[in-house]
Each structure stands twice: as C-alpha cells, then as structure tokens.
C-alpha cells in the first residue's frame, strides 16, 4: 500500500469540512511527486479525490509552492536563487549560463538525463550568494565555472 492509499484510508471517515483534509493536501502532493518527479493533471485529480477538496483548490496549492512541480523534471533539480542578494552577485548571469550550457530554457529539458534548472525566490542562503539548492542541498557561492561543472556532473552521474 502506497502512502497515498494509506492517506486515503485515513481521511475516508472524516467529515467533509474537517481541517485535516486541507492539511493533508501538501504531504499528499509531495508523496506523489516523490514517485513520479512531478504532478500531472491526473495526479492533481487523484489528490482532490483523496482529500475531498476540489481540483481547483489543489491546483491553487500546487502552483503556489515552488517545490511542487507541475511539469516533467529531470533526475536532478537545481534551483538558483534570484532574489536581491544573489541577484546583486550575478544570479541572472548564472541563469543565462545554465540555459546556454543545457541548450534549453529554464524549466525545460533538453534531453532525458539533463537536470532541471529553475529560478527560485529567496532561499535564505544570502551568506553563500549567489546560491542554489541542488536536489534540496544548499550550494554556493557559485560562479559560471562551478555551475557548469556541477551541471556536467549531474548530467553524467547515474
């Protein structure tokens, strides 16, 4: 039984307006995302069914949180901070460099094994500006060379 099935069983007996239903939405999204890398429309509808919320309500949450992905992602995800500190220290150039290196726009996938690069709101890593999250781990300060080395490693490693 997968996490989502367990959740469905737990929620089944709660009244329709129970706060736990809304509360369960984000963990359910993360759980499904951990299996498939991102949430497609069918996944949104599945979570709506499990929680009893409408698919629009789930979509509101899914599109608000930047760690929930609604498009296919690569095996690895690099999120480069573009907020004030990182921007002042060259985040914009890093984002352009990543696009050039990978040959795909931000969020796009040039090949099956390519990593996904995304801009991110402030990561709170101002001490490491320009900083990034690599599969959830902090990295920085980055420069163009370090970034390209990183992307190369992510692209080739299993």
Among 39, 59, 87, 123, binds another protein (CB under 8 A): 59
**Which residues between 26 and 55 bind another protein (CB under 8 A)?**
41, 44, 53-55
What CA–CA distance (Å, rounded) separates 103 from 100? 5
Residues in 105-144 that interact with another protein by CB under 8 A: 121
Least separation in angstroms between CB 157 and another protein = 32
Ligand-binding annotation for 85, yes or no, is no
For residue 80, which of 65, 61, 99 has the smallest C-alpha distance?
99
Lay out the sheet containing 77-81: strands in order across. Answer: 116-120, 77-81, 132-134, 137-139
Cis omega (within 30 of 0) for bond into 130: yes
Min CB(43)–another protein separation in Å: 12
User: Footprint of another protein on this chain (CB under 8 A)?
Assistant: 16, 41, 44, 53-60, 63-64, 121
């Amino acid at each position: 039984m997968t996490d989502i099935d367990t959740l469905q069983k737990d929620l089944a007996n709660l009244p329709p307006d129970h706060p736990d239903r809304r509360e369960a939405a984000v963990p359910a999204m993360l759980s499904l995302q951990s299996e498939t890398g991102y949430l497609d429309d069918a996944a949104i509808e599945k979570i709506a069914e499990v929680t009893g919320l409408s698919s629009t309500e789930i979509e509101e949450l899914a599109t608000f949180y930047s760690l929930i992905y609604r498009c296919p992602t690569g095996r690895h995800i690099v999120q480069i901070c573009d907020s004030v500190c990182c921007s002042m220290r060259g985040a914009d150039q890093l984002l352009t460099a990543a696009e050039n290196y990978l040959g795909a726009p931000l969020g796009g996938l040039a090949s099956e094994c390519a990593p996904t690069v995304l801009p991110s709101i402030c990561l709170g890593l101002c001490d490491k500006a320009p900083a990034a999250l690599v599969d959830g781990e902090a990295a920085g300060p980055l420069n163009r060379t370090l970034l390209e080395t990183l992307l190369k490693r992510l692209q080739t490693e299993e």
